[in-house]
Amino acid sequence: MVAHLGPFWSYQLVVAIVLNVLLNALQIGAYAARLAGVTTGRVGTSISLFNIVVTASRFANMFYAPMLGSISDAAGKLVRVPALHDGEVGQYEMQMRAIIGAASVGSLIGAALLPTFAYAFARGVGAFERRGSMPRAIGRLADGRVVVAILRTLRFPPLGLFGRFSLRDVPPKLLLGNILVTGIYAVGVVAAYLASVIRPDVARTALSASGLVNGVATIAFALVVDPTSAYIVDQAAKGEKSLHDVKTMVFYLGLTAVIGTLLSQLLLLPAALVIGGAAHLINVPR
């Protein structure tokens, strides 16, 4: 049973949590590339940097999957009934929730450091223009002087930050879409692993669903979040919107990303049950 899984903490869980914090902070920080595009006047280059960072962070999310697999294997060897038994929350599910909680912490850190990320992206745009190579521009981060200059921009967000940005300046569909996309990304892989333990008879089928769930989130991001935010940046570049409007958008994108990861805690169990149920239907003989 779940109660005999051993200590709650393991090095696999710690590594998964640390990676998830770092990756989510980087993914949220990528929103600052939009702001850097307006401040530098190099919108195309900034969007390219944004795509590189987002793609790399989403790909890197797979690096903690083996850690989830190790934790799931330990649970799968012992759990032959649903991880939720008689209304009691199993230790394995709580470990999965800790990993999702790490996504919330990372998103909060990334949102708080958006001004620092904006500065880093602006320097990245300048480095690319001087060197004509994106890998060489990114390689500038290995220069200690560049790192020190970026660290000097670290600031705690002012207490009156919310009063400076109005929700009326940001399309509601952009914010709602960002909450949904972020929530799905945060829960997709974790829910698939939880489903594999809840429904051990279809564990492999359930695990294969994680790519499908994240694929849906990718499509939603490409259809709703990315085009709308890019349009606002284009308007600012043409003078139809102000720099403050872009800052407002970036601020609320960071905030809604944090909300999305918090929402994923509510989505975890329903998503795992849906994935497990779908996996069972797929395996029913016809």
What is the pLDDT at residue 156? 65
What is the pLDDT at residue 175? 92
CA distance 220 to 202: 28
What is the pLDDT at residue 3? 44
Q: Sort residue 156 into left (φ over 0), alpha (ψ -120 to 50) or beta.
A: beta
DSSP string, the chain: -GGGS--S--HHHHHHHHHHHHHHHHHHHTTHHHHHHHHHS-HHHHHHHHHHHHHHHHHHGGGGHHHHHHHHHHHHHH--S-SSBTTBPPHHHHHHHHHHHHHHHHHHHHHHTHHHHHHHHHHHHHHHHHHS-HHHHHHGGGSHHHHHHHHTT--PPPTTHHHH--GGGS-HHHHHHHHHHHHHHHHHHHHHHHHHHHSGGGHHHHHTHHHHHHHHHHHHIIIIIHHHHHHHHHHHHTTSS-HHHHHHHHHHHHHHHHHHHHHHHHHHHHHHHHHHHHHHHHHS--
What is the pLDDT at residue 145? 76
What is the pLDDT at residue 234? 85
pLDDT along the chain (286 residues), means of 10: 56 85 86 82 76 73 70 59 46 87 92 85 77 68 71 68 77 91 87 83 79 80 84 85 88 92 92 85 70
What is the pLDDT at residue 73? 65
Whether residue 42 contacts residue 35, with contact meaning beta carbons closer than 8 Å, is answered with no
CA distance 96 to 90: 10
Q: What is the dihedral of CA 135, 141, 145, 147, to 10 degrees?
A: 160
What is the pLDDT at residue 132? 67
Strand-pair partners of 85: 88
What is the pLDDT at residue 2? 40
Q: Sort residue 85 into left (φ over 0), alpha (ψ -120 to 50) or beta.
A: beta
User: pTM, whole model, 2 decimals?
Assistant: 0.82
Whether residue 78 contacts residue 4, with contact meaning beta carbons closer than 8 Å, is answered with yes
User: Which tokens belong to 94?
Assistant: 């709580």
Whether residue 108 contacts residue 24, with contact meaning beta carbons closer than 8 Å, is answered with no
CA distance 132 to 126: 10
What is the pLDDT at residue 160? 64
What is the pLDDT at residue 260? 94
Where do the domains of the chain lie? 2-283
Which residue, chain included where needed, has tokens 């872009």? 246
What is the pLDDT at residue 67? 72
